[in-house]
Amino acid sequence: MAKIIDGKMISQQIKDELKEKVESLKEQGKTGALAVIQVGEDPASSVYVRNKKNACAYIGIESLAYELPGETTEEELLGLIEELNGKERVRGILVQLPLPEHICEDKVIQAISPDKDVDGFHPQSVGAMTIGQPGFLSCTPAGIIQLLKRSGVEIAGKHCVIIGRSNIVGKPMALLMLRENATVTITHSKTKNLSELCKQADILIVAMGKPQFVGAEYVKEGAVVIDVGIHRDENNKLCGDVKYAEVEPIASAITPVPGGVGPMTIAMLMNNCVQSIEEG
Ligand code: NAD
């Protein structure tokens, strides 16, 4: 029986710690707001944006909502970002992705001032993370590091295999595990012998975006399994990239979906906002 890594509980702990920190920063006269921009009305994005606003309210920081119509031009969006970059009160700027097709995401990400890039997606943030300089860390991978550390999973010297090499999960995850002194293998859609490689992992991190793909044949007895995937199954129930029922008996610890990695992303976003207020 694996230990269940409870992301809901750990993210709540982090938000409670941040709430206290926000109080003490207020006493020092340090406050600030997170600007959350949504373009269009994608229902999934609306849920994420609402959760982010609620998290801000919970820890006690102001959120400014910019709900722009789907027809907003790239120029208009870049103009708004420039305006927010110049506002001292705004300590974080978040543009909810994905954006409508007529807007270039890369241009938008690069328009955000790196000192307000609380998603950690700006090339400067990614570069700083790569060479171990201060900056905002990408929220989902940073959340996974917290999940592991706060669950007492030792990382140093362990072999970590990551499935997926996206810019928002796989690649930054590899860098952060390396920073924690793991030996890291990155796998992707062109990797040969995927299950053999995964079976060597002490810590297996699955971020491939394929519902219930990873079964028992990918997992070494006693491995720690982190499931980043989020999907709806045929019964409209949330599930991950891992076949949970099959893998749980083999693993020593595992994250469930929901209630594993998901809640950590917002907690780490809040962490970045508080860091920005502190440094601002
Ligand atoms: P992505 O589609 O950008 O990347 C998927 C990666 O998996 C790619 O690098 C690809 O090479 C690899 N891959 C695909 N098929 C493969 C295969 N058969 N074998 C080996 N590798 C394969 O996805 P992403 O943005 O990294 O997200 C991954 C999953 O995590 C999605 O389900 C997404 O919804 C979820 N996600 C969750 C959170 C969270 O907060 N919990 C945050 C971000 C993403």
Check: CB of residue 33 under 8 Å from CB of residue 57: no
For 174-225, what is each residue's pLDDT tens digit?
A: 999 999 999 999 999 999 999 999 999 999 999 999 999 999 999 999 999 9
Statement: residue 268 has pLDDT above 90: yes
User: Helix (H, G, I), strand (E, B), or coil: what is residue 39?
Assistant: strand
Residue closest via CA to ligand 1's atom 41 equals 262
Say how many Å lie between the CA of residue 209 and the centre of ligand 1: 4
φ and ψ of 279, to 5 deg: -85, -20
Q: Are strands 3-4 and 62-68 parallel, antiparallel or unpaired?
A: unpaired
Statement: residue 119 has pLDDT above 90: yes
**What's the mean pLDDT when you consider all of the chain?**
97
Say how many Å lie between the CA of residue 20 and the centre of ligand 1: 34
Distance between CA atoms of residues 233 and 188, nearest Å? 23
Amino acid, res. 251: A
Percent residues over pLDDT 90 in the chain: 99
Substitution candidate for ligand 1 out of 166, 171, 264 with most atoms within 8 A of CB? 166
Say how many Å lie between the CA of residue 269 and the centre of ligand 1: 19
For 211-245, what is each residue's pLDDT tens digit?
A: 999 999 999 999 999 999 999 999 999 999 999 99
Residue closest via CA to ligand 1's atom 22 equals 189
Cα–Cα nearest to 93, from 108, 73, 74? 108
Substitution candidate for ligand 1 out of 193, 228, 264 with most atoms within 8 A of CB? 228
Ligand 1 neighbours by CB, cut-off 6 Å: 140, 163-166, 168-170, 187-189, 191, 194, 207-210, 228-230, 261-262, 265
* Ramachandran assignment for 147, one of left (phi > 0), alpha (psi -120 to 50 degrees), beta (any other): alpha
Say how many Å lie between the CA of residue 231 and the centre of ligand 1: 11
Substitution candidate for ligand 1 out of 8, 45, 208, 269 with most atoms within 8 A of CB? 208
Confidence of residue 271 (pLDDT cuts 50, 70, 90): very high
* Ramachandran assignment for 179, one of left (phi > 0), alpha (psi -120 to 50 degrees), beta (any other): alpha
- Burial call 231-255: b when 16+ CB within 10 Å, e when fewer: eeeeeeeebbbbbbeebbebbebbb
Distance between CA atoms of residues 120 and 109, nearest Å? 9
User: Helix (H, G, I), strand (E, B), or coil: what is residue 36?
Assistant: strand
Q: Which two tokens stand for residue 225?
A: 């399994």
- Span 1-20, average pLDDT: 97
- Span 13-36, average pLDDT: 98
Confidence of residue 1 (pLDDT cuts 50, 70, 90): confident
Say how many Å lie between the CA of residue 32 and the centre of ligand 1: 33
Q: Catalytic residues, which ones? A: 52, 96, 119
Confidence of residue 280 (pLDDT cuts 50, 70, 90): confident
Residue closest via CA to ligand 1's atom 5 equals 208
Q: Is the dihedral of CA 88, 91, 96, 102 positive or negative?
A: positive
Please report, to the nearest 10 degrees, the dihedral formed by the alpha carbons of residues 114, 133, 6, 154 taken in order: 170
Q: What is the pTM of this model?
A: 0.97
What pLDDT is recorded for position 65?
96
Statement: residue 257 has pLDDT above 90: yes
Who contacts 213 (Cβ-Cβ below 8 Å, separation ≥6)? Answer: 206, 241, 242, 243
For 94-116, what is each residue's pLDDT tens digit?
A: 999 999 999 999 999 999 999 99
Which DSSP state fits 254?
E
Residue closest via CA to ligand 1's atom 6 equals 164
Please report, to the nearest 10 degrees, the dihedral formed by the alpha carbons of residues 219, 220, 224, 228 taken in order: -20
Check: CB of residue 70 under 8 Å from CB of residue 41: yes
